[in-house]
Amino acid sequence: MFVMSVKGGQLKFLGGVFMVLVLIAIFIVCVNQNLRQSTPDARADDYPPGETDGQQLDFLGSFGLETAGQPADSREVTIPFEFDPTYEEYNKIQQEQGFDLSQFKGEKALRFTYDVVNYPGYTAGIKANLLVFRGRIIGGDVSNTDIENGFVRGFKG
């Protein structure tokens, strides 16, 4: 017959070791789950190419939008981690045109702004904004910031 005795201190120690091992296992499962989710590059793979001016102009042209050529402005922007009501509305516009910025929360993207020269009913003041993440167009809009006639719309208008 085999008899083993364990003191209270040893039992607490073994319980503590067991809990640490359980926490490590949970951590590993969570990390693996996150790694299995698509990376930002993979999320953007399904979006249209937009690394070059030519690709961006082709994309805008596919909606019948003509521009003055080169972007009037370009800058780095960060897609917020948390969407306020305004950004939620903006993302609804994106979703209606096949994009979804919620996949890119917290990521840095480039915003290219073009002057549109042929928007129906307007002779000036119309901008096309493209959000580009790692060479892919992940969103954008057509806008007019005029106080009386301002709007933000999808590319299809």
**98 and 72: one domain?**
yes
Q: Which among 116, 135, 109 has a CA at the least distance from the CA of 52?
A: 135
Residue 93 lies in a domain: yes
The tens digit of pLDDT for each residue in 14-55 reads 555 555 554 565 555 444 445 444 555 556 678 999 999 999
Q: Which among 31, 116, 136, 20 has a CA at the least distance from the CA of 71?
A: 116
Residue 2 lies in a domain: no
**Total domain count, the chain:** 2
DSSP state of 42: H
**49 and 16: one domain?**
no
Q: What is the pLDDT of residue 148?
A: 83
**33 and 46: one domain?**
no
Residue 99 lies in a domain: yes
**59 and 128: one domain?**
yes
The tens digit of pLDDT for each residue in 49-107 reads 999 999 999 999 999 999 998 999 999 999 999 999 999 999 999 999 999 999 999 99
Full DSSP string of 48-81: PB-SSHHHHHHHHHTTT--B-SS-SEEEEEE--S
Q: What is the pLDDT of residue 134?
A: 95
**126 and 102: one domain?**
yes
**53 and 29: one domain?**
no
**15 and 63: one domain?**
no
Q: Which among 81, 59, 78, 80 has a CA at the least distance from the CA of 142?
A: 59
Domain span at 27: 8-37
Residue 100 lies in a domain: yes
Tell me the pTM. 0.73
**22 and 46: one domain?**
no
Q: What is the pLDDT of residue 45?
A: 76
Q: Which among 132, 130, 133 has a CA at the least distance from the CA of 142?
A: 130
Q: 17 vs 126, which has greater pLDDT? A: 126
- The CB density around residue 105, as the number of other CB atoms within 10 Å, is 14
The tens digit of pLDDT for each residue in 128-157 reads 999 999 999 999 999 998 888 799 999 986
**76 and 16: one domain?**
no
Residue 149 lies in a domain: yes
**14 and 70: one domain?**
no
Amino acid identity, residue 92?
K
Residue 1 lies in a domain: no
**88 and 23: one domain?**
no
**83 and 122: one domain?**
yes
Question: Dihedral through CA 76, CA 47, CA 145, CA 116, nearest 10?
Answer: 100
